[in-house]
Amino acid sequence: MPPGEHKFPCASCGADLRFAPGTKTLVCEHCGAANDVPEGAAASTDHLRENDYELAISGGLSALIEEETRFSRCDNCGAEIEFTDEVHATECAFCAAPLVTGTGSHRRIKPAALLPFQLDERQAKKAMADWLGRLWFAPNGLQEYARKGRALNGIYTPFWTYDADTKSRYKGQRGDAYYETRTVTVQEDGKSVQRTEQVRKIRWSPRAGRVARFFDDILVLAATSLPKSYTDALEPWDLSLLEPYRPAYLAGFRAESYTITLEQGYAEARSIMDRQIDRDVRTDIGGDEQRVDRIDTTVSDITFKHVLLPIWTAAYKYRGKTYRFVVNGQSGAVKGERPWSWIKITLAVIAGLILAGVIGYFASQNG
C-alpha cells in the first residue's frame, strides 16, 4: 500500500485519527472527535469473493488484487512489518528487537478482508494479566511488570483461507470386535487356581468406498514471526464477521506482511484436508477399528483469500529473559511462554513435605 495510506487527519484539529476497537469509528486522541470509518469502494460482498488458486500460481493474478508494500524485516524473528514514510525506527512487536525501516518493497497479494479489533489495549492487558494470574508458580514480578509495564502492540496478522471441493476413493479394512472365553491358571495364596476371562479379538473384513467433502475457509497462518502453536491456541476466530479491507481499520495499528507464500500455505491447508478426509473414511468404514490402506483424492475448484486477523502482542524482558504473549484481538484468548518461579516451587515442595510429615505424625500417633 502506498506510504502514508494509513494516516487519517482529524477534521476538527488535523491530528491523526486512530481506529477505536469494538466500534466502526476513528477517534482523535488529541481532541476526542469521532469519525465513521470511510466506506470502501468495494461492494459489500467483495471481501468474500474467492480468487482462483490455479490461476494465481500460474502468474495470472490481476493487478486488482495486488499492491506494493514497504516493509522492514526483523533479523531476530523474521517478522516483516509494514511502515509508512514518517516511521524510521522502532522495535519488533513480536520479539522486542530494535528495527530500522528499510527502503525495499514487495509486490504482494493485497488483503481482501480483515477482522477489526474488538478489544482495546486496556482490555487486552487485563486478559493477559488474568491469564498470568491463573498460572501456577508464575513469578509475581513478571505479573506486576506485565500489568503495569510497557504498551502492547496491535498487529494485523496475515492469514490465507482456502476453499476446495474434494472427492476420495479408499480401500481399507473394517474391524469388528468379538470376545472369546478362555481358562487361565493364576496363583492365589500360594495355590494354583483356574479362572475364566474374556479375550477381545478383532474380525477384519475388506472395505472400499467413496467420500466427498467441500472445505470452506481453511485458515492458515501466513507468517513465521509467531510460533504456530501460539496462533493455533488463539482459535476459534469468527470469520463471519470479516469486513472488506479498508485502510481506516489499520489507523493506529501495524500490519504484518505475509512471509509464507500462497503455495506454501496451500500445502498446509492440504494436510489439514487430508487429516479430515482420513477421519471421514474411518467413519464411512465403521466398525470398532479401521485400517486405511489407500486414499486417492481429487481436489477441484481451489480458491483462496488473503485476510488480516487482529492480535495484540507483547514481548517483556524480565530478569534477562524475554517472554512473549499474544492476545486474540477479537475474543481475548491468550497464549504465551510459560514463566516459572523457582522460589514458589521450592516453597510449595517444602510446604508439601511439612504437610506429609504432620499427617505421618498424627497417623503414627493414632496407630
83 within a domain of the structure (yes/no): no
Do 212 and 150 share a domain, yes or no?
yes
> What is d(CA 58, CA 334) in angstroms, rounded to the nearest whole number?
39
Do 138 and 270 share a domain, yes or no?
yes
Supply the pLDDT for residue 338.
58
Q: Which of 246, 329, 255, 254 is nearest to 37 (CA)?
A: 246
154 within a domain of the structure (yes/no): yes
24 within a domain of the structure (yes/no): no
Number of domains in the chain: 3
**CB-based contact 291:129 (threshold 8 Å):** no
> What is d(CA 4, CA 322) in angstroms, rounded to the nearest whole number?
32
Supply the pLDDT for residue 328.
94
Do 192 and 257 share a domain, yes or no?
no
The model's pTM is: 0.76
11 within a domain of the structure (yes/no): no
If 0-12 CB within 10 Å is exposed, 13-18 middle and 19+ buried, where does residue 119 land? Answer: buried
What are 322-327's contacts with CB under 8 Å, separation 24+?
322/95, 322/96, 323/142, 324/94, 324/95, 324/226, 324/230, 325/128, 325/131, 325/146, 326/226, 326/230, 326/231, 326/234, 327/119, 327/124, 327/127, 327/128, 327/152, 327/234
Q: Last residue of some domain: 162, 183, 205?
A: 205
The three cell numbers of residue 362 are 498424627
Do 254 and 296 share a domain, yes or no?
yes
Residue type at position 43: A
227 within a domain of the structure (yes/no): yes
Supply the pLDDT for residue 67.
66
Do 138 and 180 share a domain, yes or no?
no
366 within a domain of the structure (yes/no): yes
Would you write out the chain's pLDDT as a tens digit for each of its 367 residues?
433 345 677 777 877 888 889 888 888 877 878 878 776 544 445 557 789 999 888 877 766 566 666 566 666 666 666 654 444 445 665 665 555 555 455 678 889 999 999 999 999 988 888 887 665 555 565 666 556 666 788 999 999 999 999 999 999 999 999 999 988 888 888 888 888 888 999 999 999 999 999 999 999 999 988 888 889 999 999 999 999 988 889 888 888 889 899 999 999 999 999 999 999 999 999 999 999 999 999 999 999 999 999 999 887 766 677 778 899 999 999 887 755 554 555 655 666 677 776 676 566 767 6
**CB-based contact 18:27 (threshold 8 Å):** yes
238 within a domain of the structure (yes/no): yes
Do 213 and 269 share a domain, yes or no?
yes
Rg (CA), the chain: 28
Supply the pLDDT for residue 211.
98
Do 241 and 309 share a domain, yes or no?
yes
Q: Last residue of some domain: 183, 205, 227?
A: 205
26 within a domain of the structure (yes/no): no
Do 254 and 116 share a domain, yes or no?
yes
**CB-based contact 174:207 (threshold 8 Å):** yes
Do 352 and 246 share a domain, yes or no?
no
Domain membership of residue 181 as a residue range: 173-205
Supply the pLDDT for residue 4.
36
Supply the pLDDT for residue 310.
96
Do 332 and 348 share a domain, yes or no?
no
Supply the pLDDT for residue 184.
84
Looking up cell 517478522 gives: 79
Do 138 and 233 share a domain, yes or no?
yes
Supply the pLDDT for residue 3.
34
Do 328 and 351 share a domain, yes or no?
no
